Structure 1
Amino acid sequence: MPTAEQHGIRAHSDGAGAVVPVQTRSERFCSADVADFAPVNGREHEWKLSPVATFADLTGGELDGSRTPVESVEAEGVSVSWIGRDDVRIGTAGLPEDRGSANAWSSFGEAMLIAVTGEEQKTASVTRTALGSAPRAAHTVIEAAPNSRGLVVLRGTGDARLVENVEILVGEGANLTVVSLQEWSDDSVHLASHFARVGRDAKLKHIVVSLGGKVVRLNPSTHLAEQGGDVEALGLYFSDAGQHLEQQVYVHHDAPHTRSRVTYKGALQGEGARTVWIGDVLIGNAAVGTDSYEQNRNLVLTDGTRADSVPNLEIETGDIEGAGHASATGRFDDEQLFYLMARGIREEEARRLVVRGFLTEIVQQIGSPELEEHLIAALEAELQGS
């Protein structure tokens, strides 16, 4: 029998004992224990586009894990309560992939539970405000019972230095919308990891709106774990001078006949305005019949800004309905401006109309007229500073 030596096959002298690189997105290391992660230095793949020095206390320091003060507006079929770390639901949707998320997981004392029941559509909101300048940790579980319907708004205002994890459990046949609204003060820092598990024939609409804060880094991850699961991941952000807004989105198609649509849109204005969007979609080998598409669009309003946009798509089966991705970053459409100005609209107003039309596509998909009106007003306020 021929041997390997006969064909010149031998191990590389410098490869023995080397760590095998991660081959696919689902193989990334995850742990709920912060001690399992090395200190953050900014060269890691998950941190290389982030201003890590501005939140070193959140990724490596001690955190206040007590209950965060909240104001809730509940509806019939939605309840807000607190549960212990030993609750069986904690850890069901996912586990941390970075040290900041793991630090929050290791530090929280109790988790806030938002439970949605009943087949009638309802809206509830939870607002956290004035958390202060001390570094804090938080953990939230949003659970939609089978066949339930509801919209849950998580809103942050005032001062904060917060790192948190949010788990979203969407039961069989449920239809849940979760809106994460960041309207923090100018000096606030917010790091968040959202983990969602979507059940059989269930649908999740996950919407991220980041307007305020010095640094906001919100990374949503969705596991389409059972047949017929559907996720619509939407994002809207407006970065001003010196503001860093970041989203790293991950969708894992892990079951047959699942669907995902990812659409994030942002605008940048002012010196040092920075946005980061990374979109990872993994279609596993069992996810036959998958239908997936992701896109990111950025509108640059002034010089001195930077938008990073990185779409990634992995496909492990050829039996799918479709999959694609797109990314674009650019300035105003001159034809649109010309069209408006030719009809007597001043250039400044024409620019505002173009930006508003670009961004409100996301706002109009929320499904809450009151919240949509609030966000349109907030966008108008942002544009007044341009």
Structure 2
Amino acid sequence: MSTATDTPAQHGLGAHSHGAGTEPDSSARSALDRFASFDVNAHPVPRGREEVWRFTPMSRLRGLHDDAPLDGGDYSVAVDVDPRISAQSVGADDSRRGTSTYVPVDRPSARAWAAAEKVFAVDIPRDTVIEQPAVIKLTGASAERGAAGHLVITAGRHSKSVVVVEYEGSAAFVENVEVVVEDGAELTVVTLQDWADDAVHLAHHHIHVGRDAKVKHAVITFGGDLVRTGTTINYAGPGGDATLLGLYYVDSGQYVENRLIVDHNTPNATSDVEYKGALQGKQAHSVWVGDVLIRKEALGINTYELNRNLVLTDGARADSVPNLEIETGEIEGAGHASATGRFDDEQLFYLQARGIPAELARKLVVRGFFASLINRIGVPELKDRLMTTVERELAVVEQKATES
């Protein structure tokens, strides 16, 4: 299904654009000038020379960014939700699609929008508090054929809930995820990407935060050959509060990229970004790019973004690029920080000197690095599982070191 019309294409995260219009400006450095269109052909095929693709190993995308067919259906979806939540597959013309104000900002996202034959819609009723996390699990069965998906999560006014989206198995998957948090609602969305080693996943998440609404959005990546997640966020009115969290553990040969754009387009809103990653093994590569836009109408906002990376072995690489664009000085605060460091051998020695075995000491250091972030995610049902997975990943490099 194509949603393209003859309306001129536009720029900006909040603009609804449906046509080809002007050619995208690949030299644009400001996220304010980012090209957006539903028309696939309005987005040229990226070649890796563009600013937003310069880190990505294009040869490993399996054509998802180009013209590879997106007709694969080798995956299943399982649902475990409270009966009050509606979670179902609907037609691609469903009215909930597009309510987040998102317009595709790159070719894979536009391709996914056009190719998705159905939309999976999760609706939390207004004025409803739901304690049990809603779990949506997608399991892929093959990475041979590309597939497209579209997920829309809507938190009704003054509701409170948690939605966990899990990915596993083999896949070549491109998707859009829309998150709509209506006025006064509180929503936590966690995506857990624990793919098989051969999976490629290109995703774009867009979050639309209502007046006085609170959203917590966490992207957790363990598995996959290549996983690239873009997250954009804007506000429907004053008082919106957004916390964006990320955790990634990158093994030998694995590529994980996270790109964020926080668009402060209303007054008196807040955003807090914290992403942490650990890397181990040759050619383990992570990329984090965080853009915060403070428009001239965004008076009284407060924002901060932080990225930290822990390099556990030689041969791993972490790229971290925080950016701030500020059009008004009448704000509460704005800042960013980025740090990448090697495993602290002195800390390890300190623990060993007190009788703690090297293997356990190493686990304690890595657990300590991730513990505060996992606590911030605030989903008790995931806490132990995430720590166990971190230790599983850590054991891989320890085993290889023993064998060598």
* TM-score over 0.5 for the pair: yes
Q: Secondary structure at the match of 2:61?
A: helix
Question: Which residue does 2:360 correspond to in 1?
Answer: 349
Deviations 1:108-146 (A, max 9, x none): 111000111213433110101134221000000000000
Question: Which residue does 1:13 correspond to in 2?
Answer: none
Q: Secondary structure at the match of 2:300?
A: coil
Counterparts of 1:225-374 in structure 2, within 5 Å, are 225-374=236-385
Question: Which residue does 1:52 correspond to in 2?
Answer: 58
Q: Secondary structure at the match of 2:174?
A: strand
- More displaced, 41-50 or 337-346? 337-346
Q: CA deviation at 1:40?
A: 1.8
Tell me the TM-score normalized by structure 1: 0.92
Q: CA deviation at 1:361?
A: 1.9
Query: In structure 1, which of residues 129, 136, 150 is the aligned counterpart of residue 139 of structure 2?
Result: 129
Matched residues, number? 369
2:247/2:276 contact within 8 Å kept: yes
Q: Secondary structure at the match of 1:246?
A: strand
Deviations 1:53-79 (A, max 9, x none): 111421122202769520010113322
Q: CA deviation at 1:21?
A: 5.5
Q: CA deviation at 1:376?
A: 1.0
Counterparts of 1:150-161 in structure 2, within 5 Å, are 150-161=161-172
Question: Which residue does 1:112 correspond to in 2?
Answer: 120
Point out where structure 1 has 5 or more consecutive residues left out of the alignment.
1-17
2:187/2:216 contact within 8 Å kept: yes
Question: Which residue does 1:8 correspond to in 2?
Answer: none
Read off the aligned partner of 2:132 and give its amino acid letter. K
Point out where structure 2 has 5 or more consecutive residues left out of the alignment.
1-23, 398-404
- More displaced, 368-377 or 230-239? 368-377
CA distance in 2, matches of 1:67, 1:186: 17
1:65/1:138 contact within 8 Å kept: no
Whether 1:97 and 2:105 are equivalent positions in the alignment is: yes
- More displaced, 211-220 or 75-84? 75-84
Deviations 1:257-299 (A, max 9, x none): 1000000000000001000000000011111111100010000
1:236/1:265 contact within 8 Å kept: yes
1:138/1:162 contact within 8 Å kept: yes
Read off the aligned partner of 1:380 and give its amino acid letter. E
Question: Which residue does 2:18 correspond to in 1?
Answer: none
Deviations 1:86-122 (A, max 9, x none): 2233223211111111111110111000111213433
Read off the aligned partner of 2:85 and give its amino acid letter. V
Whether 1:76 and 2:83 are equivalent positions in the alignment is: yes
Whether 1:385 and 2:396 are equivalent positions in the alignment is: yes
2:62/2:172 contact within 8 Å kept: no
**Cα-Cα RMSD:** 1.8
CA distance in 2, matches of 1:276, 1:25: 17
Question: Which residue does 1:42 correspond to in 2?
Answer: 48
- More displaced, 367-376 or 261-270? 367-376
